[in-house]
Chain A
């Protein structure tokens, strides 16, 4: 218990340093998490995570397997709700609004916070229907022309339109892995989210497809708040402006990506970045 308290304290120290004006990007804070805990049954997966996520920037969560980074990501759009026996504590606020407030509709929340998963998971429907699905269920398009426009612009933003414009009616599952993942990004963009969560979006892709997605993430940052979980430190270094290092369910260190990689404060962070743990 003492150890735990110590860790929480340490985290808030890091947070304080994160609040340090020299450290913060010139971006307002979009998401705030305070003392977030997650229990799967009797097992505690997250121990008091507190973090601020700035608007229109890429925040990367890194750490060894099982460190809780994906679990925390899934708290942000309440995907943990769907897991039997998962219990989330603490508060997460989007623009000052508690997302775990019982009066808040999770369906609306997920329209505001989109998600891209580890393995590309397009619906077994046509490319068009994949992208049109979100706008359809949320009633975002008034008519067919509107919907067409949303689909085309979403595919454009995901950098996929040129490749698939002649086969919008073919199944999305027939695309290559990298294209499928961009289709999933287009699908997430189509509902006009404010935040996009990406759970190791490139782990199932080859290096070339990965490079394309990374470039895309860099472009999307102009308009969206992006949180990305990644196994690859190089990727975190390439795409993110802020990085948070998780270990064994604790947030060990967070800060500007450059600082984390060049000058980590914590010994564990240093070890991980040097490849000594993980």
Chain B
């Protein structure tokens, strides 16, 4: 008996030893796995941080614009087109409009650059030698339009002197912000030596000042006056497309998912449809662009470069994502809830709409917003339906030509004035990221709110 107990106790000691010898290895494996996980997270976060730091470092300077302060005299000697026509002098609206247009055309034919130059010369120190061309390189080329526009609005300015801020040219901004190496020789500089010298003087005497670049948000794209290039057109174009995606993809996607998941008989056909939808989600987006070009433009003859076509293409691209996510959410609803509803005598439709959908609504909403956010950043399919065209207008309807935010980034990225457009591209990326973060924030907010309520 005693020996039995001894052997059993020594056997249990052996067992404990065996377990203990393995323990170290088991703990080590756990440590290794944890270290691996932490490293993976650190690496991922590191890349995200790198992206943000890089984009912000480059993009933030683009939100500062250089302005040239002008003391503009609307010289009657230059503006010799006669008084603006008044409505009272004309019998009909048409006659007045014709006269008014003629007056504006006459104004447009004037050499407004002489007025810009005269205004600039007021700030040039006495004795500083500079040619007209060199002087006019300082303000952006659209300064003359700005002055003319001001005069058209208020013809009583004739003979008066007003203080106006106009945009400095992209090259001036480069020089002011130090985007260009000042030690380079004349042959490698965009601006001549007298111009560069004068810009420095202007900065000192307060003719050139820096301010927040609202123009990025209020202007459309521009090539002749690159310093005034803004995102408004692309932003509105993107907005139209997202509207179309939300209006089309959400109801169609959710309805398809509900039918497939809740009502469709399980057959070979529905299996096939399911496999196809899953595959569609993995189709490269550029293929959707090709499809859009072939179907919507060549077949339906919808306008090229229009947000309607872009929206339709992005809808096709987003649909599988929304269908898959919605089906996943519906599948996750507990059978108990379904049985409770059916057991109460609810019809299948009532079960789905009274009980299943409300429970899955937060997930469907999140999936939808993430799908839309994905579509928001999509570039490749838009290039194929002509949205890479230069469009300098705000689309008033989804049928107008328009740019889109990601495509605008792509276009600016390729602009030849690298020194000026590199920061501006980064700024556009910041705006796009901002919109995406906003959308994700809305998704998270709505989700937590709805889940609390449920």
Contact = CB atoms under 8 A, between A and B. Distances in A.
Q: Do A and B come from one complex?
A: yes
Contacts of B337: 121, 123-124
B8 interface: no
Interface in B354-388: 354-355, 358-359
Interface string A60-87: 0000000000000000010100101000
Given A84-B266, A137-B350, A121 B344 contact: no
Contacts of B347: 107
Contacts of B359: 124
B99 interface: no
A114 B343 contact: yes
A93 interface: no
Contacts of B41: none
A158 to B, nearest CB: 15
Contact of B354 (A115, A119, A133, A188): A133
B340 A121 contact: yes
A273 interface: no
Contacts of A117: 336, 339-340, 343
Contact of B345 (A108, A119, A124): A108
Given A84-B266, A123-B355, A124-B359, A137 B345 contact: yes
A184 interface: yes
Q: DSSP class of B's interface residues: helix, strand, loop or mixed?
A: helix
Interface string A98-126: 00000000011111001101010111100
A187 interface: yes
B350 A122 contact: no
A84 B267 CA distance: 11
B343 A124 contact: no
Contact of A124 (B266, B339, B454): B454
A138 interface: yes
A269 B178 CA distance: 96
A20 to B, nearest CB: 34
A245 B324 CA distance: 45
Contacts of B336: 117, 119, 121
B239 interface: no
B286 interface: no
Interface residues of B, number: 20
Given A124-B359, A124-B454, A133-B354, A107 B345 contact: yes
Contacts of A177: none
A110 B343 contact: yes
B346 interface: yes
A134 interface: yes
A49 interface: no
A123 B341 contact: yes
Contacts of B294: none
A244 interface: no
Nearest to A82: B342
B345 A138 contact: yes
Interface string A129-154: 00001100110000000000000000
A79 B339 contact: yes
B73 to A, nearest CB: 74
A104 to B, nearest CB: 13
A119 B342 CA distance: 15
A121 B337 CA distance: 6
A79 B344 contact: no
Contacts of A188: 343-344
B343 A79 contact: yes
B175 to A, nearest CB: 65
B340 A134 contact: no
A187 B350 CA distance: 16
Interface in B214-235: none
Given A84-B266, A124-B359, A137-B350, A110 B344 contact: yes
A191 interface: yes
A110 B344 CA distance: 6
Contacts of B266: 84
Most chain A CB within 10 A, of B337, B339, B354, B358, is at: B339
Nearest to B339: A117
A124 B452 CA distance: 11
Interface in A197-235: none
Interface of B: 266, 334, 336-347, 350, 354-355, 358-359, 454
Given A110-B345, A121-B340, 16 more contacts: A79-B339, A79-B343, A82-B338, A82-B342, A84-B266, A107-B345, A110-B343, A115-B343, A117-B336, A117-B339, A117-B340, A121-B339, A123-B341, A137-B354, A188-B343, A191-B344
7 contacts: A77-B343, A79-B342, A123-B337, A137-B350, A138-B345, A184-B340, A187-B344
